[in-house]
A and B are shown apart, each in its own frame.
Chain A
Amino acid sequence: MITDNDELKDFKLRPMKCECNYLNRSDGSAILSQGQTVAVVSVNGPLDIKMQSQSIGKATLEVLFSSKGGKPSIGDRYKEHVIRQTCESAILGCLYPRTGITVTIQELEDYGGFLACCLNACCLALLNAGLAMRHTFAAVSCAIDEQGNIQLDPAPAQLETSRATMTFVFESREKSLVTAFTDGSYSDSAYSEAMERCRSASDLVFQFYKQIVSKYSYVIG
């Protein structure tokens, strides 16, 4: 099943561009572009919330996804669910009991791998907000085409010819899987292989985080 090919091949992620503190009124914010896909995320918190939604054990996380135009849809709720579950496992919410943390995501451009870009932007915004976190997380998407080739961080043209797309989110400490969601049908071996591939590629995203944080923390001293 596996064509054993020992030579190493270069795999590429699309160029990443990011600016933290893009919005000055939010406690933390980031705009991130991966290739042509762009998302902006703002994080506010910990802040005061209504009594009924307070929880005594941990901070209440609220995630809002806003599409570019048009009416809100079921798909938006699903995206919120994915992002909420991912952020929830990363934020040390027990340090901020009886408070609320609001994460707002605004879609700007969607050219493939959109949810992965949102998740990475969320992580940068959370870092920027200075919230205590268990770990950072990196999302990598990949596509499997008709020939069974795995393409990392696919562009829209590659998505058209693919039969399955998958997105994996890994945490920084042990590189274990935090979140995964897929589209299309595929075999077990393709699934595990794609996951391994994305796991190694997540390193690039973590390096990116590290570079951006060290760039300004060096100046802050």
Chain B
Amino acid sequence: MRDIFISNCEKSFSNKILSEGYRLDGRNYNESRQLSISFGSEYGSCIVSLGETKVLAQVSCEVTQPKQIRPNEGILYINVEISPMAGPQFEANRQTDLSVYLNRLLEKCYKDSKCIDLESLCIVVEEKVWSLRVDIKVLNHDGNLIECASIATLTSLAHFKRPDVTRSGDSVIIHTLAEKDPIPTVLFHYPVCATFAIFDGDILLSDPSFFEESVCTSSTEEGINSGGGVLVIGLNQYKELCLLDHSGAAINSSKLVHKAITSAADKCKEIVDMIKKSIVSDDTLRQKRVKINFADMITQHHLLALTRKDLNIKLKSYNVDDNRSEIDGMDTDHDLSDPEPSKYDVVASAPHTAEIQTKKESSKWIEISSDSEEDEKE
């Protein structure tokens, strides 16, 4: 990962305005950026954008053998990928600390908090279970990746429906979506992460932007971190704590954490409500057979956007008569190629071997000696 440097004057400026109660983008301390969720055509695919931070989540499923220690449970697998698309500082095909950290946080929040009913994913005990795979692709990293990725994970899991199966004797039949209505995943509770940036050991900023995150985790000129850090809190809709993670300088007072949890609780509840609402409205649209697609996400009246529906061109109507028999095709080919005598000989030489050789030794080798070249130059 390439380093991103922030100049001292940028740092001191942002610290100064923060101490006066302002943020660079004009938000309050407690204000989050706008959250929007759009769904793709498949079940379990969504793009969540939090301000300019954008994350794509896709859930896929396949039938596998269960783990031996948990023979009656399905498997949940979370995979986070941060490609150079997220920002120029990221390199291709390289796991960064950030992606490992993000992966672990999401696993803590969704696997370890047991929010998914894994037992319902079992088909045949010890033989066949559903394995769910959540692929998180970071499209744009503009700060607070954790919150955005966690919303995307939860939304895609709640939106996802797996195909129905019927067991008949030994065999298991997996029905296509057209044959039988798919089954939604059972979620016991809806945990969501909220991130706070800590400044000077006492200011809490909710939903920090990329710049704020970089400033609060970076050290000052003297190499000492001046009480900055990032606090991640995972809570479900019942305001139960699922995840707590802190990085950066030590927090002096327990009051700060307490304050963060109280404000996160209301925020998480709000987010979960919004997720549920968007899934319900998406579901009603799908029932009305409205085609939902990521293409709907593209804005229409933006200066940098363009929509064209009437892409017509007048061309001659033409039909390639390709249904002529293949033997005919071969015959015409022979006729075409016969007049020209072949330049090559096909000979069977050694056992098991055949060769194509050029007929006459018509080598057109021209030696360009360096002398003649020098002559040309002079």
Contact = CB atoms under 8 A, between A and B. Distances in A.
Contacts of B81: 66
Given A68-B58, A193-B320, A104 B315 contact: no
B289 interface: no
Q: How large is the interface on A (under 10, 10 to 19, 20 to 34, 35 or more residues)?
A: 35 or more
Given A66-B83, A104-B85, A208-B306, A186 B318 contact: no
A148 B319 contact: yes
A122 B306 CA distance: 16
The B interface, classified by DSSP as helix, strand, loop or mixed, is: mixed
A40 B40 CA distance: 13
A203 interface: yes
A66 B149 CA distance: 17
Contact of B308 (A8, A31, A68, A211): A211
Nearest to B86: A25
A15 B319 contact: no
B39 to A, nearest CB: 11
Interface stretch (A41-49, A89-97, A167-175): A41-49
B317 A7 contact: yes
Contact of A150 (B45, B299, B303, B320): B320
B85 A201 contact: no
Contacts of B304: 19-21, 128, 212, 215-216
Interface in A75-111: 102, 104, 106, 108-109, 111
A38 B294 contact: yes
Given A3-B321, A147-B319, A68 B306 contact: no
B139 A2 contact: no
A212 B311 CA distance: 14
A135 interface: no
Contacts of B2: 47-48
Contact of A186 (B92, B300, B308, B322): B322
Contacts of B88: 25-27, 44-45, 47, 102
A180 interface: no
A11 B312 contact: yes
A40 B307 CA distance: 16
B84 A44 contact: yes
Nearest to A102: B84
A18 B318 contact: no
Given A14-B311, A44-B88, A24 B320 contact: no
A12 B311 contact: yes
A187 B329 contact: yes
Contacts of B58: 68-69
A56 interface: no
B132 to A, nearest CB: 11
B229 to A, nearest CB: 23
B315 A15 contact: no
Contact of B309 (A1, A11, A15): A15
B313 interface: yes
Contacts of A23: 52, 54, 85, 139-140
B140 A33 contact: no
A128 B300 CA distance: 18
A13 interface: yes
A66 B137 contact: yes
Interface in B283-336: 291, 293-295, 297-300, 302-309, 311-324, 329
B21 interface: no
Interface string B197-228: 00000000000001000000000000000000
Given A18-B298, A208-B308, A201 B139 contact: no
Contact of A64 (B84, B299, B312, B313): B84
A90 to B, nearest CB: 19
A6 B315 CA distance: 10
A5 interface: yes
B164 interface: no
Interface string B42-86: 000101000010101011100000000000000000000101111
Interface in A187-221: 187, 189-190, 193, 197, 200-201, 203-204, 208, 211-212, 215-216, 219
Given A15-B311, A106-B56, A8 B317 contact: yes
B320 A187 contact: yes
A69 B86 contact: no
A23 B84 CA distance: 12
Contacts of B59: 69
Interface of A: 1-3, 5-21, 23-27, 29, 31, 33, 35-36, 38, 40, 42, 44-45, 47-48, 62, 64, 66, 68-70, 102, 104, 106, 108-109, 111, 128, 144, 147-150, 186-187, 189-190, 193, 197, 200-201, 203-204, 208, 211-212, 215-216, 219
30 contacts: A1-B320, A2-B318, A3-B318, A8-B316, A11-B314, A15-B307, A15-B308, A16-B306, A17-B298, A18-B306, A21-B304, A23-B85, A24-B142, A25-B210, A26-B85, A33-B294, A33-B295, A36-B291, A38-B293, A45-B88, A62-B84, A64-B83, A64-B92, A144-B322, A148-B320, A148-B321, A148-B322, A197-B315, A200-B315, A215-B304
Closest 9 CB pairs of A and B: A33-B295, A69-B58, A13-B311, A104-B85, A190-B320, A69-B135, A19-B305, A20-B304, A23-B140
Given A44-B84, A69-B135, 9 more contacts: A8-B314, A36-B41, A64-B85, A66-B137, A68-B45, A106-B139, A108-B56, A148-B321, A208-B306
